[in-house]
Amino acid sequence: MEKKNIQSVGFISLGCPKALVDTEQIANLLVSDDIKITPSFREADLVVVNTCGFIDAAVKESLDSIKEAKKKNGRVIVTGCLGAKKNSDGTSLITPEDLGVLGVTGPNNPMHTAKLIKDQLNVKDHFDCEVKNKRKLPLEQETSTESFATISRNHLLTPSHYAYLKISEGCNQSCTFCIIPSMRGKLFSRKVSAIIEEAKNLVSKGVKEIIIISQDTGAYGADNKYQTEFVNGVPVKANLLGLLKELQKLKVWIRLHYIYPYKNIDSLIPLMEKKGDINDIIPSRQGIVPYIDMPFQHAHPDILKKMKRPGKMEDILTRLSNWRKICPDLTIRSTFIVGFPGETEAHFDYLLRFLTEAKLDRVGCFTYSPVAGAKANKYQDHVPEEVSLNRQSRLLLHQAKISKNQLKRWNGKRVEVIIEDIDSEKEVLIGRGPADSPEIDGIVHVYPDQEKLSRVEIGNFALVEIIGNNEHDLIAKIVSN
């Protein structure tokens, strides 16, 4: 029986922004062969579920989403981290036969996944035909870092004014609570020239904010020993500093995520230093946003040692102080894990004292979750769930007061914000400033006069004056747009 020529695909993308970029790559490979991306699973002829397999809760969410996609559509392809997860005996955790789906692929291989989709749609893969003679590895072994340079990201799954830019894949760390290296492999850095080319392409399509992501952003280039590359005939050292110096020439916001507290991060702070009017937080749309997402995970040396995380927190506190002297407008975001095996009340109290001293601007907190295959599972003295949840609640309440006090420093200052939404009924604009990464941080409530409200467009910049704040958000009035 001849296959039906299916031309419509729906997506479910779970997990982190890194997975979202993978989904965008797959979607763009489909769009390049005139396959439509649709938000309706019932109308789609096939649904792709990009899964997360990091913690048990994410695995459950992924499996539930696969069931839902099968219920609403029936024809499903599964990809992402869950597709690469193994049982203790080395066999695949999920298979097409077990799930009743058309196929299962892992992360880091959008071309293989797109080819599987196109085969099911009975669509000729023109993109694969163009590149197969250049391929160094079989299609099923090729990674996203190797194919990134040739995949154009014309179709974004974020709002059109911002985009995530992945600069590397994999991770060389051995954190005992994490299994990402087993799913996404060792560190593999993209070429500077390929990253710059992609960034320029995004800016040409109207992107005003580029968010730099990877598993370990600060380690960029380490796998290649930071070899010098030539970009447009100019030598550029292939480390994070060299890359950012090139990216800041694009005159858009560049925001850094997933920064490990390496010593080389100190050299990045001067790039964020304010050089404009003293009343302005950041020069107009130019350069590296004074913002760092740096997951510390804990503060007590005993717990950090068991986690195999770096750092004497006394050194971290000194560095934070030095960074703020160089760049007073710097926003520091971090995440922490409470209830890690062996964590005592004394360890937790130490963490709270660290937060008091560190004065971090944005903080997320998770309870420890056992992950199949993680080394931390073998530790003794697992903390009861109710104790972990209590500590999470206490930490967030403790941090809320700190965050509210930190936000006060913006009061009276003029800040450039990106307008994310317009609430016409309440006559308020929803914006994000330099301190606000999308989806995870606070927002800026902007109150314009009626005349200016009608001229504001989503995705554009507006200059506002901060007039108040709460624990998470700023309140502002519009100055100009």
The CATH number that applies at residue 84 is 3.40.50
Q: Are residues 247 and 340 in the same domain?
A: yes
What string of pLDDT tens digits covers the 481 residues of the chain? 444 555 899 999 998 899 999 999 999 999 989 899 998 888 899 999 999 988 888 889 999 999 999 999 989 999 999 998 888 777 888 899 989 999 999 987 899 999 999 999 988 877 655 545 444 444 444 555 555 545 777 888 999 999 999 999 999 998 999 888 888 889 999 999 999 999 999 999 999 999 999 999 999 999 999 999 999 889 999 999 999 999 999 999 999 999 988 999 999 999 998 765 555 554 455 689 999 999 999 999 999 999 998 767 889 999 999 999 999 999 999 999 999 999 999 999 999 999 999 999 999 999 998 888 889 989 989 999 999 999 999 999 999 999 999 999 999 999 899 999 988 777 889 999 999 999 999 999 998 876 666 677 899 998 899 999 998 999 999 886 5
Task: Classify residue 426: in a domain, yes or no.
Answer: yes
Q: Are residues 393 and 454 in the same domain?
A: no
Q: Are residues 331 and 424 in the same domain?
A: no
Q: Are residues 302 and 203 in the same domain?
A: yes
Q: What total of structural domains would you count in the chain?
A: 3
Task: Classify residue 164: in a domain, yes or no.
Answer: yes
Picking from 90, 125, 144, the residue at the C-terminal end of a domain is 144
Task: Classify residue 3: in a domain, yes or no.
Answer: no
Picking from 128, 144, 160, the residue at the C-terminal end of a domain is 144
Q: Are residues 438 and 329 in the same domain?
A: no
Q: Are residues 25 and 107 in the same domain?
A: yes
Strand-pair partners of 92? 86
pLDDT of 7 reads 85
Q: Are residues 124 and 174 in the same domain?
A: no
Task: Classify residue 285: in a domain, yes or no.
Answer: yes
Amino acid letter for position 396: L
pLDDT of 286 reads 66
Q: Are residues 77 and 177 in the same domain?
A: no
Amino acid letter for position 165: L
Task: Classify residue 255: in a domain, yes or no.
Answer: yes
Please give the model's pTM, rounded to 2 decimal places.
Answer: 0.90
- Domain range for 454 is 412-480
pLDDT of 137 reads 45
Q: Are residues 117 and 226 in the same domain?
A: no
Q: Are residues 119 and 16 in the same domain?
A: yes
Task: Classify residue 40: in a domain, yes or no.
Answer: yes
Q: What secondary structure, in 3-state letters, does the chain show?
A: CCCCCCCEEEEEECCCHHHHHHHHHHHHHHHCCCCEECCCCCCCCEEEEEECCCCHHHHHHHHHHHHHHHHHCCCEEEEEHHHHCECCCCCECCCHHHHCCCEECCCCCHHHHHHHHHHHHCCCCHHHHHHHHHCCCCHHHCCHHHHHHHCCCCCCCCCCCEEEEECEECCCCCCCCCCHHHHHCCCEECCHHHHHHHHHHHHHCCCCEEEEECCCHHHCCHHHCCCEEEECCEEEECCHHHHHHHHHHHCCEEEECCCCCCHHHHHHHHHHCCCCCCCECCCCCCEEEEEEECCCECCCHHHHHHHCCCCCHHHHHHHHHHHHHHCCCCEEEEEEEECCCCCCHHHHHHHHHHHHHHCCCEEEEEECCCCCCCHHHHCCCCCCHHHHHHHHHHHHHHHHHHHHHHHHHHCCCEEEEEEEEEECCCCEEEEECCCCCCCCCCCEEEECCHHHHCCCCCCCEEEEEEEEECCCCEEEEEEEC
Task: Classify residue 2: in a domain, yes or no.
Answer: no
Picking from 91, 119, 144, the residue at the C-terminal end of a domain is 144
Task: Classify residue 55: in a domain, yes or no.
Answer: yes
Phi-psi region for residue 207, left (φ > 0), alpha (ψ -120 to 50) or beta? beta
Q: Are residues 227 and 367 in the same domain?
A: yes
CATH number for the domain harbouring residue 262: 3.80.30.20
Cα angle 407, 408, 409 (rounded to 5 degrees) comes to 90
Nearest to 217 by CA among 177, 162, 254, 249: 254
